[in-house]
Structure 1
Amino acid sequence: MISSSKLKSVDFYRKIPRDLTEASLSGAGLSIIAALSIMFLFGMELNDYLAVSTTTSVVVDKSADGEFLRIDFNISLPALSCEFASVDVSDILGTNRLNITKTVRKFSIDPNLKSTGSEFHSGPIPHVNNHGDEIEDDYGESGEGSIKINGQNFDHYSHQHAILVVNFYAPWCYWSNRLKPSWDRAAKIIRERYDPEVDRRILLGKVDCTEEGELCKRHHIQGYPSIRIFRKGSDVRDNHGHHDHESYYGERDTESLIAAMETLVAPVPMESHKLALEDKSNGTIDTAKRPAPTTSGCRIEGFVRVKKVPGNLIISAHSGAHSFDPSQINVSHVISHFSFGKKLSPRTLSELKRLTPYLGGSYDRLAGHSYMTSHSDLNANVTIEHYLQVVKTEIISRRASQEHKLLEEYEYTAHSSLVQSIYIPVAKFHFEPAPMQVLVTEVPKSFSHFITNLCAIIGGVFTVAGILDSILHNTIRLMKKVELGKHM
């Protein structure tokens, strides 16, 4: 068994009795400076150890999400009605999808971008096969069967009749001219069956929107022809005389129009001055009618999936059975959200900002931006285009939890412009995915390296402080000897 005296012989740090040591002010000062230096250098080393270190490389895009790319968006258009607002997608491979509704939602909004109610359930606009009478029928010449309505007499007719059906048209519109003969024939026959002076259950009228611009604007007419159904009793609100009403999207030949009018008038009692009742015949919903928009604005939100090739996401006024006046279409918009790829959770965003703080603002670069044009002659027919270059960033994290080992996001640059055109204005987002991707890998710091540096800091500071203390102490002693020698 090794004795304690033999074990003490291997002590590298032999102790000097305290009685043999002498404290000095210079040594105390250097000790304080050394301690502060150690604390400062320790903080610097700890900060460097905790700091994120990454390596960046550019590689060919071989992402796991395949050949498709998801686009999420939330865009408010204060001057485009939900009735005709359409989200379309196209690309250079020939893909062309119109009026996407499955993954897109619409909400009517006021000019201040505030929602005016629940979701606007428009669905796809029903396809109209018969836009008018192809040949002369047994009804003879159409004549002027429908009543001409203007801003002065609109309220009079809507209060006098249980149901007022109005054709808002434009003389230059092809579809309006196709509808005109059958509309006048149907109006004439309905007047003969239901005398508006005696019966007062239904009346058919028409409004020329080139002459009655304010009346058409009040009822948010953006496509021609637009057939609206106004019901007496529940159709007027305290909102500048605005009427809640329905839109008719059925067939436009005389027979179909008469049948639709008969369906509307059937549940209304003779000489009724009461609220017009809803049509509940056969317990089914008439797919030719749906609520008309209550405002002229629309918020569109949702997502679409596109191929990873250059393409376009377009928001425009669209219908296969209506015409639009380009000078009256305004696609000004405010972007609340526009991003590519999977929607990132707050936790994922936090991890991304930790690893790549310089990329945080490019994930949703268009968010909060407004692109507005005034509705004047100088700013008519304005298309707003956004050119987006999209780059995928793949981040490999070493410290995140298992489900966040691999983080993916799409960054993009955006350049926008306003272009005047003779065509119907649109809001166009042209996207171009890059064939390359950025790969960011977190480089972990070695704990042993941190401890080694820490020991080097402590040992080095004490060694340097000891050398300085020895030099200072010997210098003072030498000066005292020299001074003493002069006095002897």
Structure 2
Amino acid sequence: MGVKQAIKNFDAFPRAEEHLLQKTQSGALVSIVGLVIMATLFLHELGYYITTYTVHQMSVDLKRGETLPIHINMTFPSLPCDVLSVDAIDMSGKHEVDLDTNIWKLRMNSQGHIIGTEYISDLVEKEHTAHKHDDGKDHHENSEEKIHLQGFDQATENTIKKVKEALANGEGCRVYGVLDVQRVAGNFHLSVHGLNIYVAQMIFGGSKNVNVSHVIHDLSFGPKYPGIHNPLDGTTRILRETSGTFKYYIKIVPTEYRYISKEVLPTNQFSVTEYFSPMNEFDRLWPAVYFLYDLSPITVTIKEERRSFLHFLTRLCAVLGGTFAVTGMLDRWMYKILEALTKPSARGVYR
């Protein structure tokens, strides 16, 4: 008997108490609430298990000889497309022009509607390809040597007239496309530097009248991955009764995004600081929007990972078991409370 009793003591499922075998309305209510809670928690845990999470790792950037893609999508509401140019310069001072680079300019009227399209096959105007630029040098000084003092030819006069009409009509320009540059520090800028100093003077009447107000719809250095944040997207800078040069100092961080499917997406993320330099009457520079970038020597690797199935089972058992235990306790308390409330009334009837 002693052995049998000892074995019985290991029974983890003793017979339920008598009140638990009785079906009541309060027990039904608690059961329904418990089932709803368990179903909700089960779906939550299932979604938690299916959803991936990311792990960040850092390492030294060992990439060499690759290009850096720069995706541009900007609007200049106060500059016609005929005067707007895109220049790309690397740290050596030479222009980097890629034949595969695609840049488009869309003419826009004063209401922001597209009225024409122009494709730029070369990023830099022909008269600038032989010159070296840096951030603080005025391009117009180099242009003076090529200007014929005898006057403008018919094509130049037609361009001046056309641009003046576009300015009077409130035309703007939207620039979008991809620049493929070398993976070295450099800058690209959007400006009226494609014009020589005399043509620009004839059109605008001075650098203070060049309005480089702009809206950055999208600026990125590679394809987008889940969760990426490009800090310049949606940036709006509108100048009123003033002019100047905008400079965006960008620190690019090479990034690899590894999907759960083991696919690797090479891209870049970046941080930025902004500086605005207003024009003054002694400034010989013409307004522009500069993006000066440098690359970090550290690569960030972002991996998608999923929680293990055993982890999911552990959490599921804890959640469902805990809910079942709590609802059982709640049913027991409600049964005892109702029993205590109904017993005195029952004694009064038998008397």
Q: How does 1:475-486 map to 2 (within 5 A)?
A: none
Query: Shift of residue 431 of structure 1?
Result: 1.5
Q: Tell me: CA distance 1:98–1:420, structure 2 relative to 1, closer, same or farther (3 Å).
A: farther
Cα separation, partners in 2 of 1:91 and 1:35, compared to 1, 3 Å: same
Q: Which residue of 1 aligns with 2:183?
A: 308
- Paired positions, count: 301
Name 2:95's counterpart in structure 1. Answer: 97
Match of 2:234 among 354, 368, 387: 368
Code of the aligned partner of 1:313: F
Q: Distance in 2 between matches of 1:408 and 1:449?
A: 31
The structural deviation recorded for 1:112 is 4.1
| 3-state secondary structure, aligned to 1:300 | strand
Q: CA deviation at 1:176?
A: 9.9
Relative to structure 1, the CA distance from residue 29 to residue 227 in structure 2 (aligned partners, 3 Å threshold; closer, same or farther) is same
Aligned CA distance change for structure 1 residues 44 and 303 (closer, same or farther; 3 Å): closer
- TM-superposed CA distance for 1:466, in Å, is 5.1
Q: 1:370 to 1:227 in 2, by over 3 A?
A: farther
2:85 aligned partner? 86
Matched, 1:406 2:264: yes
Q: Does 1:227 align with 2:169?
A: no
Question: Does 1:390 pair with 2:252?
Answer: yes
Question: Residue 149 of structure 2 aligns to which amino acid in structure 1?
Answer: L
Structure 1 residue runs of 5 or longer lacking an equivalent are: 1-11, 129-172, 181-224, 231-244, 249-290
**Matched residues in 2 for 1:444 and 1:76: separation?**
41
Letter in 1 for 2:177: G
Q: What secondary structure sits across from 2:297 in the alignment? A: strand
**CA drift at 1:73:** 0.8
> Cα distance 1:461–1:372, how it changes in 2: closer, same or farther (>3 A)?
closer
* 8 Å Cα contact 1:53/1:444 also seen in 2: yes
The match for 1:295 among 166, 173, 177 is: 166
In 1, the alpha carbon distance for the partners of 2:298 and 2:71 equals 22
Residues 459-478 of structure 1: matches in 2 within 5 Å?
Answer: 459-462=321-324
Calculate the TM-score normalised by the size of structure 2: 0.66
> How many Å separate the matches in 2 of 1:319 and 1:458?
70
Name the counterpart of 1:179. 149
Do the aligned residues in 1 keep the contact of 2:98 with 2:180 (CA within 8 Å)?
Answer: no
1:330-382 deviation digits (Å, cap 9, x = unpaired): 3222223221124x5xxxx5xx1xxx3xx3xx23x3233332323x5xx24x1
Question: 1:384 offset after TM fit, Å?
Answer: 1.4
Instruction: Mark the structure with the bigger radius of gyration.
Output: 1
Alpha-carbon separation, structure 2, partners of 1:127 and 1:29: 84
- Please report the TM-score for the alignment, with normalisation by the length of structure 1: 0.50
Residues 226 and 247 of structure 1 are in contact (CA less than 8 Å); yes or no, is this contact kept in structure 2?
A: no
* Aligned 8 A contact 1:45 1:450 in 2: yes
The amino acid of 1:89's aligned partner reads: A
Q: Deviations over 1:382-427 (max 9, x none)?
A: 11111222223322222x5x6xx22344222333332035112221
Partner Cα distance (2:335, 2:96) in 1: 90
| Letter in structure 2 aligned against 1:330 | N
Identity across matched positions, percent: 26
The structure-2 alpha-carbon separation of the partners of 1:391 and 1:470, relative to structure 1 and needing over 3 Å to count, comes to same
Offset at 1:87?
A: 1.8
Residue 296 of structure 2: SS of its match in structure 1?
Answer: strand
For residues 106 and 112 of structure 1, what CA distance do their matches in structure 2 show?
A: 17
Whether 2:264 is the aligned partner of 1:428: answer no
Residues 50-449 of structure 1: matches in 2 within 5 Å?
A: 50-62=50-62, 67-92=66-91, 94-97=92-95, 103-119=102-118, 178-180=148-150, 226-229=152-155, 246=158, 295-296=166-167, 297-319=172-194, 322-323=197-198, 324-325=200-201, 326-342=207-223, 344=224, 352=226, 356=227, 359=228, 362-363=229-230, 365-374=231-240, 376=241, 379-380=242-243, 382-398=244-260, 400=261, 405-421=263-279, 422=283, 423-449=285-311
Q: Distance in 2 between matches of 1:34 and 1:320?
A: 76
Provide the aligned C-alpha RMSD in A. Answer: 4.4
Query: 5+ unaligned residues in a row in structure 2: which ranges?
Result: 1-11, 129-142, 202-206
- Could you tell me how far apart the structure 2 residues matched to 1:75 and 1:308 are? 23
The Cα shift of 1:99 comes to 8.1
Query: Could you tell me which residue of structure 2 aligns to residue 276 of structure 1?
Result: none
1:97 is paired with a residue whose SS is coil
Are 1:86 and 1:315, in contact at CA under 8 Å, matched by a contact in 2? yes
What amino acid maps onto 1:96 in structure 2?
A: K
1:30, distance to aligned residue in structure 2 (A) = 4.5
